[in-house]
A and B are shown apart, each in its own frame.
Chain A
Amino acid sequence: MAVASTTRFQRGPARPGLLRIAALPALVAALLLSVMASIVFGAADIRGETVWAALTAFDGTTEHLIIRTLRVPRALISMVVGAALGVAGGIMQGLTRNPLADPTILGLSAGAAFAVVAGVALLNIASLTAYTWFALAGAGATALSVYGLSAIGRDGPTPLKLTIAGAALTALLSSLTTGILIFNQRTLEEVRFWLAGSVAGRDLALLLHVLPYMGIGMALALALGRRITTLALGDDVARGLGQRTLWVKSLAVIAVVLLAGSAVAVAGPIGFVGLVIPHVVRFFVGSDYRWILPYAALLGAILLVLADVAARLVLQPLELPVGVMTALLGGPLFIYLAQHKVRG
């Protein structure tokens, strides 16, 4: 991927700080409405009062179970995963100064997929919980390897070296994954649906496993906002302003691994959220990552929740994987970005 100019995509229309503060509660409200929509709407036609009763006076009927065991978990998981991917994508674009960067540039998805596929083929892991831990470990190991490779050399982990190392490891791990699946059809059958990415069928216990990691990652990301803004101006500028760039990059990568790694571990690889959301946010709030990251969290959550609702309703009673909907929504915007935003 080309490392684009730092200026073109970083600049957005400036907005007074008051507006940015005022818009946050509006976004929170929009997120709550989206989550409510995710709980209210689905393939089963359930009335509003029944939804409310399921949440407040659960009686074990089929409709109440659909609300509690199917819709509420996927609404919450969509929200958390979308927020994590949005923030991780914002950090990656600031860290690499590349408008086309997203969390997968560190090889997170490829590493998670390889770990799960290898686990199924070699160790016969079978439960979603096991998939989650293997995916988290695979994502983390891959990201650390990418960072380590890119750190070789006098310059340390530059954006270009990070991108190249990530692309190389992604290609290697994807090839190994494909190789295992070609020679092991049973593994293919067991993991194919996980590899498509989905927020369906997960219970909240799965989310609770990774929530501590996501929480630490989110706190770290938000704390790094100002430093990433400085780093996005260029390494030389950041160092000239007294920033310890190596520390900031290291902590930023850790935040991305915790956020995106956890997201992939729970929901499998879901694309476009980390790529598209930071650009949408940047258009409204400018180039200050102290605003970009919290807005990316909220918008990423809203996008994934609404994409999941759409995935359930478009072909009901059939369902599309949520990754297909995010691609349908993000793909055209990605093309627009590639054509208009990346300029010298």
Chain B
Amino acid sequence: MSVRHLHLRGVPISALLLVLVACGAPAANTSSSPAASARSESAAAAAQSATAAFPLTIKHEAGETTITTAPTRVVTIGDEITEVVAALGIKPVGVAGRMQGGVVGGALGKTNYYTAEQIGAPTFVGSVTEPNIEAVAALNPDLILYLNYDDTIYSALAQIAPTLGYDLGKQARWQSVIVEIGRIWGREAQAAQVVRDFQADRDALRAELASIAAQSPRVTLLYLPDAQTTFVFNQEFALGGLIQDLGFTPTPPPDVPLENGLATISAEALATLDTDSVLTLRIAADGALERYPVEDVLDSLNVPVRRYVINPEQPYTGPISEQAYLENFAKLLKEQ
């Protein structure tokens, strides 16, 4: 099975979404992450008695991999896949991601998203797009989980240890991946519980928003990484899928060709937007956010425009991040 590349203007989606970390409400972030992980860990305690049967063959986006023994040294390449593993109570020995200041072969550096309780103290092995293969090999892993789809990198990783490659950009993909990966450690029940907990929260928020969604169902989700670039999403992409999960219809401008649920558009295309509200994702800078010209155009559309300020280090999907996104999206959509 060939690996599908999710690239947007040469930027892996994981990198793109990296920017979409919730920062505008750090209290909300920290309150939802421990809550989600606490629920997960209580489920983990109940499920930990299960064991996996080996050899175990797992199908993934990069093909099929057979695992012969329960892995004890896991390396995760990509914050989104790190999050899936962390939700299962597994602490990776090495991670590659967007953590600021990480030293390859050393500490993670300042990372203000995951706590030590969630991921332990793994070794930093580089970025998602350029993981340091030597640093990965030095950790002597027995399982590697890889988020990106560079065939060359995947081939190099697969020579070190059994490697599973996943595309988590698709709507709700993490929910099936966590169960698939949970099989490796006999934690399918825990994984299923994580998914059920998430879906319960999702359904509760959906019910709260039902009347608003009935009145104003169309929501346009935009990501503005800088003044010159405008991304739009639909439900095929993880974040757009969350809007749909809350009972709304992700609504891009008409005639925009989206690939894998996203596209960069001219700011002028917003003139043809027919929507009920707009949700813009912006990266938090130190200090005030710079106002972009496209935001003047959005304000002229006479629909509510809500800004969601995100932490640059938050992943775009995963059991912990999507909980935060759901809650913050719901809070914004409730605003009159």
Interface residues of A (CB under 8 A from B): 42-44, 46, 60-63, 65-66, 69-71, 73, 124, 126-129, 182-186, 188-190, 192-194, 196, 198, 200-203, 312, 316-319
Contact = CB atoms under 8 A, between A and B. Distances in A.
A201 B127 contact: no
A126 B229 CA distance: 15
B98 interface: yes
A237 to B, nearest CB: 46
Given A70-B293, A127-B285, A193-B226, 19 more contacts: A44-B271, A61-B300, A63-B271, A65-B296, A69-B293, A126-B287, A183-B104, A185-B15, A186-B18, A186-B313, A188-B127, A190-B225, A192-B10, A193-B229, A201-B228, A203-B293, A316-B269, A318-B257, A319-B265
Interface of B: 9-11, 15-16, 18-19, 97-98, 100, 102, 104, 126-130, 225-229, 253, 255-257, 263-272, 283, 285-287, 290, 292-294, 296-297, 300-301, 312-313
Nearest to B284: A126
Given A69-B297, A185-B127, A189-B15, A317 B253 contact: yes
Contacts of A186: 18-19, 98, 100, 312-313
A198 B228 contact: yes
11 contacts: A62-B297, A62-B300, A69-B297, A70-B293, A71-B268, A190-B226, A193-B226, A201-B228, A202-B228, A312-B266, A316-B266
A200 B228 contact: yes
A42 B283 CA distance: 27
B23 to A, nearest CB: 12
Contact of B293 (A44, A185, A198, A201): A201
Nearest to A194: B226
A12 B18 CA distance: 53
A43 B266 contact: yes
A66 B18 contact: no
B266 A317 contact: yes
Given A65-B300, A185-B18, A43 B129 contact: no
Given A124-B285, A189-B98, A192-B10, A200 B263 contact: no
B297 A70 contact: yes
A38 to B, nearest CB: 12
Contact of B269 (A60, A188, A189, A317): A317
Nearest to A184: B100
A127 B290 contact: yes
A237 B268 CA distance: 55
Nearest to B257: A318
Nearest to A317: B269
Contacts of B127: 182-185, 188
Nearest to B228: A201
B18 A189 contact: yes
Most buried by A among B104, B253, B285, B293: B293
A192 B18 CA distance: 14
B100 A193 contact: no
A327 B245 CA distance: 43
A200 B267 contact: yes
A127 B292 CA distance: 10
Contacts of A183: 102, 104, 126-127
B268 A70 contact: yes
Interface pairs A-B: 4 shortest CB-CB: A201-B228, A201-B227, A126-B285, A317-B269
